[in-house]
A and B are shown apart, each in its own frame.
Chain A
Amino acid sequence: MKNRRAISYSRWVLPSLLLSLFVFLGHIAVAFPPQKSTREELLVLPGEVGRPGGRLVVSLRGEPKTLNPLIAADARSREVIGVMQADLIHINRATQLTEPALAKSWKISPDGLAYTLVLRHGLKFSDGQPLDADDVLFTFRLYLDENVHAPQRDLLIVGGKPITVRKVDARTVVFQLAKTYGVGERLFDGLAILPRHLLEKPYKEGKLGQIGSLATAADQWAGLGPFRLKDYVAGQRLVLQRNPYYWKSDAKGNRLPYVDELVFLFVPNADAQVLKFQSGETDMISQLGAENFSVLSRQQRGYTMTDAGPGLEYNFLFFNLNDAGEKTSPEMQRKQKWFREVKFRQAVSAAVDREAIVRLVYQGRGAALWSLVAPGNRRWGNERLPRPPRSLDRARTLLKEAGFSWTTGPNGESTLLDSDGKPVELSILTSSSNADRAKMAALIQDDLKQLGMRVQVVPLESRSLLDRVTQSRDYDACIMGIASYDADPNSDISVWLSSGGLHLWNPSQAHPATPWEAEIDRLIEEQMSARTFEPRKKLYDRAQEILAENQPMIFLASPDILAGAKNSIGNFHPAVLEPYVLWNVEQLYLKNGTGNATR
């Protein structure tokens, strides 16, 4: 009988061994799920799930100059670079708030001076090379290197000192600031992380400025964006292909982007863009003027036009308030006497017909402005700011109080005279390439004629214009527009601060020229270091009020963001921040999945 028991035990040994093996393996399988690659952590995007495949065609007004973020200074290059590169922390264009990008999380130290960022697992450049903290260190070394002259360098100087980066481990970096900066994490938006394996050699040889041109071979360039370089035909188009290593996926786990190809067609101007869109050659259109928008809206065949609402652009008129030096002519000094009189500026502001500007220039698709903060910026607008309607009488009263008077000429027209009896004549500069601002200038010229001022509009090519306003400072008045690239006030620092290069009426001052400019400087610098929203908003509101009292910039109007796309494009949600329609390019898909249908 013992033998029989022994045999019955051995009958169970094998199955139980096999069973425990299975269980053991099962545990392993659960604990270590099979991955396609070395443990990637994809960023999962919420939103509509689309279908893969197809080609997107968009038009670009002009050719980009380069693909290299270190030398790209023009808007076209930045547009293209934007879809080929990625940043550590990104500002979501729809919500205007920051969210994780290449960095999956970050921590701010209690004193607000150190930002610790942790990178995702398994990140790869578009050529398959892995990314780690050394690439981040290398990137910021390039940005901060004075010999490289990267345009990004100035952004990374906080509290007078450049920020420093150090590595903690292969996936963690710490950024150290010299002073607290309320919007520290917003700094990272748009700062592309560059591939060390491709750029290190040119950097050591000092040839960074020569790489990354459009004609670079496709395998010699890489980035972390949704698309990578495929082909370039000079003067015609740039073709990008899907980055198979892109680190985002949709809610169902499909790796983004959906489309296989993104084509940028080069067109010479805005009208050519409209033509191409209308004929179906391009799939989307953005940065539309109101008139073209109306033309396209008339017959929406196969496409839909969208008015995304007020944007962040602000247009304004300003006078030459530069300090009088030895080089200032007596003519200019005489005119500056008028410009420096605050009642004169307030009178001009009262005479400007903002409603006509919105109606005639933007065809109603815009908003009148009384502050730098345009209506598209929902969080930072000051509700209590006065918004007086146009009144020529009030303007005349203000002028009279300031010592101006009128005479009547032989033809019945009245001429404004200053306190010395000289007629008030001035010229307004405007950019010759911007039709909207030229129109505003013509309207203001007529408005001021009603006050008796003789105004001459001088269109200048935009580079000469900038030269005259910021270098030679030889002008009377000027109309300009600036589109903030971010809703946060710090994006307009160089306009607010008296030392700023865009403080256009008197740029780059060594010391504030007036008490109110000094006050604004103080308010702005305080809000820069403040770390929560409420105190910053209060300070910023007060700064806006001071600006409105003194009117160094007479704000005019802000256009809506207008865009359109074919009905076959899914996930089309234009935003009011740049890039207006390509900000979610990885989520755009073709509903019929077959690609761009041509005529």
Chain B
Amino acid sequence: MRYLLRRVGHALFLLAGVSMLAFLFTSLAPGTYFDEMRLNPQIAPETVAALRAQYGVDKPLPVRYLSWLSSALHGEMGFSFAYNSSVAPLLLVRARNTLVLTITSTLLAWAIALPLGIWSAERLGRLPDRLLSWGTAILLVIPDLALALGLLVFAVRTGWFPTGGMASVDFETLSPLNRLRDLASHMILPVMALVFSSLPLLIRHVRAAVADVLNAPFLLAAVGHGIPRRTLLYRYALPAAANPLISLFGFSIGVLLSGSLLIEVVMSWPGLGPLLLESILARDLYVVIGGVLFSTLFLVGGNFLADLLLYWADPRIRTESGTR
């Protein structure tokens, strides 16, 4: 119990610290959104200055942070100059789009990596394992940038897949089944890119964790007892390997929001990544802080979830914390 409470407090501390850091960074920015208006020959500088004062960009830093913090605790995360709307709804929509993509690809990647990793660990050092190692090595050394660009070229050349965006023009008019198909067709390429980029590391980690356990003395003893392979694997090896795997899974959850930035930008998927990039370039302070905070929330939440799962799954942790 105390362990859990400590973890919660820990998480809150992280969030507060991150928000302060993020806010600090964004305040280093010179130039504001209103400068775009100056490039319009029709508007005089006095109008711009008046609007600047109206939006409160001129107030001192701590005042701005505190006002933002108080509204954040009410669920309002500030105001976006560029989109002329509240930050929270903006973030929520984009985060939802990102999650659709990343949840699908994370599940897919794990569904592929687990069996492959286990299979490879069982045949450690032999030919199939070596082939898989080389395969993942090749995939690993191709930067995800090259992967994303390559898939985009493929889409353009063949015309089989839509080359960007999340939905077609007449999405609203389609039946629910067709809507699902439309969404799926738009998702194929980004999901492929995400899966390809995360798969090699996942496979390696799974393989390492399982291989580790397979070498443990207690497993050898179990083999000596004549326990069949299947049971060995599922009831003895995997639970022991669960520890690092759960941490890894927690990490996978943690990067659900932030890990796909590059791919979203390259493939024009309307997620959190492109919003963040745009806001950074546009010096839209509150969106940037909100976005960083959101994804940190996920990271911290993912780790917390992993801690919970570990607590439940690994008796060593329960006993260790009990002795504190």
A touching B, CB within 8 angstroms: yes
Chain A contact residues, CB within 8 Å of chain B: 57, 63, 65-66, 71, 73-74, 149, 151-155, 213, 231, 233-237, 263, 265, 267-269, 272, 275-276, 279, 281, 432-433, 461-468, 470, 472, 482, 484-485, 491-495, 501-502, 508, 596, 598
- B283:A461 contact, CB within 8 angstroms: yes
Contact of B38 among A153, A276, A466 (CB under 8 A): A466
- A213:B170 contact, CB within 8 angstroms: no
- B164:A236 contact, CB within 8 angstroms: no
| B82 partner residues in chain A, CB cutoff 8 A | 65
Q: Which of B131-183 contact A (CB under 8 A)?
A: 156, 159, 162-172
Given A281-B168, A495-B41, A596-B169, A466–B35 Cβ distance below 8 Å?
A: yes
Indicate if B5 sits at the interface (CB-CB under 8 A).
Answer: no
Q: Which of B41-91 contact A (CB under 8 A)?
A: 41-45, 47, 50-51, 54, 82-85, 89
Q: How far is the CA of A263 from the CA of B283 in the complex (A)?
A: 29
Given A65-B83, A463-B31, A598-B170, A501–B45 Cβ distance below 8 Å?
A: yes
- A470:B38 contact, CB within 8 angstroms: yes
Q: How extensive is the interface on chain B, given as a class? A: 35 or more
- B47:A268 contact, CB within 8 angstroms: no
- A501:B44 contact, CB within 8 angstroms: yes
| A272 partner residues in chain B, CB cutoff 8 A | 164-165, 268
Which of A493, A494, A495 is most buried by chain B, counting CB atoms within 10 A of its CB? A494
A sample of 11 cross-chain residue pairs with beta-carbon separation below 8 angstroms, ordered by A number, consists of A151-B43, A236-B166, A237-B169, A263-B169, A272-B268, A275-B163, A279-B159, A461-B283, A467-B32, A467-B35, A502-B41
Q: How far is the CA of A276 from the CA of B164 in the complex (A)?
A: 8
| B42 partner residues in chain A, CB cutoff 8 A | 151-152, 154-155, 485
| A276 partner residues in chain B, CB cutoff 8 A | 164-165
- B156:A275 contact, CB within 8 angstroms: yes
Indicate if B228 sits at the interface (CB-CB under 8 A).
Answer: no
The 4 closest A-B pairs by CB, nearest first: A467-B31, A464-B31, A466-B35, A463-B35
- A73:B36 contact, CB within 8 angstroms: yes
Given A153-B47, A279-B162, A463–B168 Cβ distance below 8 Å?
A: no
Shortest distance between the CB of B291 and any CB in chain A (Å) = 14
| A57 partner residues in chain B, CB cutoff 8 A | 169
Q: How far is the CA of A492 from the CA of B40 in the complex (A)?
A: 10
Given A71-B84, A237-B169, A508-B45, A462–B40 Cβ distance below 8 Å?
A: no
Q: How far is the CA of A596 from the CA of B173 in the complex (A)?
A: 13
| B159 partner residues in chain A, CB cutoff 8 A | 279
Q: How far is the CA of A463 from the CA of B162 in the complex (A)?
A: 33
Given A149-B54, A267-B268, A73–B43 Cβ distance below 8 Å?
A: yes
- A463:B41 contact, CB within 8 angstroms: no
- A462:B39 contact, CB within 8 angstroms: yes
Given A213-B84, A501-B45, A508-B45, A463–B167 Cβ distance below 8 Å?
A: no
Chain A residue at smallest Cβ distance from B85: A213
Given A74-B36, A149-B51, A279-B159, A236–B41 Cβ distance below 8 Å?
A: no
A275-B163, A465-B35, A466-B38 known, 8 other contacts, Cβ within 8 Å: A236-B165, A268-B274, A275-B156, A281-B168, A484-B41, A485-B41, A501-B45, A502-B38
Shortest distance between the CB of B11 and any CB in chain A (Å) = 30
Indicate if B94 sits at the interface (CB-CB under 8 A).
Answer: yes
Chain B residue at smallest Cβ distance from A501: B45
| A502 partner residues in chain B, CB cutoff 8 A | 38, 41
| B44 partner residues in chain A, CB cutoff 8 A | 154, 494, 501
- B84:A467 contact, CB within 8 angstroms: no
Chain A residue at smallest Cβ distance from B90: A234
- A154:B36 contact, CB within 8 angstroms: no
Indicate if B217 sits at the interface (CB-CB under 8 A).
Answer: no
Contact of B281 among A74, A151, A263, A461 (CB under 8 A): A461
Chain A residue at smallest Cβ distance from B37: A73
| B94 partner residues in chain A, CB cutoff 8 A | 235
Indicate if B270 sits at the interface (CB-CB under 8 A).
Answer: yes
- A236:B270 contact, CB within 8 angstroms: yes
Using an 8 Å CB-CB cutoff, how does the interface string of B8-46 with A read, 1 for contact, 0 for none? Answer: 000000000000000000000111111111111111110
Contact of A461 among B31, B47, B50, B165 (CB under 8 A): B31
- A65:B30 contact, CB within 8 angstroms: no
- B31:A466 contact, CB within 8 angstroms: yes
- A66:B84 contact, CB within 8 angstroms: yes
| A153 partner residues in chain B, CB cutoff 8 A | 47
| B30 partner residues in chain A, CB cutoff 8 A | 464, 467-468, 472
Shortest distance between the CB of A8 and any CB in chain B (Å) = 75
- B43:A154 contact, CB within 8 angstroms: yes
| B37 partner residues in chain A, CB cutoff 8 A | 73, 151
- A154:B47 contact, CB within 8 angstroms: yes
Q: How far is the CA of A598 from the CA of B45 in the complex (A)?
A: 46
Q: How far is the CA of A539 from the CA of B83 in the complex (A)?
A: 43
Chain B residue at smallest Cβ distance from A495: B41
Shortest distance between the CB of B101 and any CB in chain A (Å) = 14
Q: How far is the CA of A479 from the CA of B92 in the complex (A)?
A: 38
Indicate if B222 sits at the interface (CB-CB under 8 A).
Answer: no
| B166 partner residues in chain A, CB cutoff 8 A | 236
- B31:A234 contact, CB within 8 angstroms: no
| A484 partner residues in chain B, CB cutoff 8 A | 41
Q: Which of B275-320 contact A (CB under 8 A)?
A: 281-283
| B282 partner residues in chain A, CB cutoff 8 A | 461, 463
Q: How far is the CA of A65 from the CA of B36 in the complex (A)?
A: 13
| B35 partner residues in chain A, CB cutoff 8 A | 462-467, 470
Indicate if B112 sits at the interface (CB-CB under 8 A).
Answer: no
Q: How far is the CA of A272 from the CA of B166 in the complex (A)?
A: 12
Which of B83, B156, B167, B171 is most buried by chain A, counting CB atoms within 10 A of its CB? B83
Shortest distance between the CB of B195 and any CB in chain A (Å) = 23
Q: How far is the CA of A234 from the CA of B93 in the complex (A)?
A: 8
Shortest distance between the CB of A430 and any CB in chain B (Å) = 14
Q: How far is the CA of A262 from the CA of B33 in the complex (A)?
A: 29
Indicate if B97 sits at the interface (CB-CB under 8 A).
Answer: yes
Chain A residue at smallest Cβ distance from B33: A463
- B270:A494 contact, CB within 8 angstroms: no
| A279 partner residues in chain B, CB cutoff 8 A | 159, 162-163
Shortest distance between the CB of A311 and any CB in chain B (Å) = 16
| B167 partner residues in chain A, CB cutoff 8 A | 236
Shortest distance between the CB of A236 and any CB in chain B (Å) = 6
Chain B residue at smallest Cβ distance from A507: B45
| A501 partner residues in chain B, CB cutoff 8 A | 38, 44-45
Shortest distance between the CB of A300 and any CB in chain B (Å) = 16
| A596 partner residues in chain B, CB cutoff 8 A | 169-170
Q: How far is the CA of A168 from the CA of B89 in the complex (A)?
A: 48
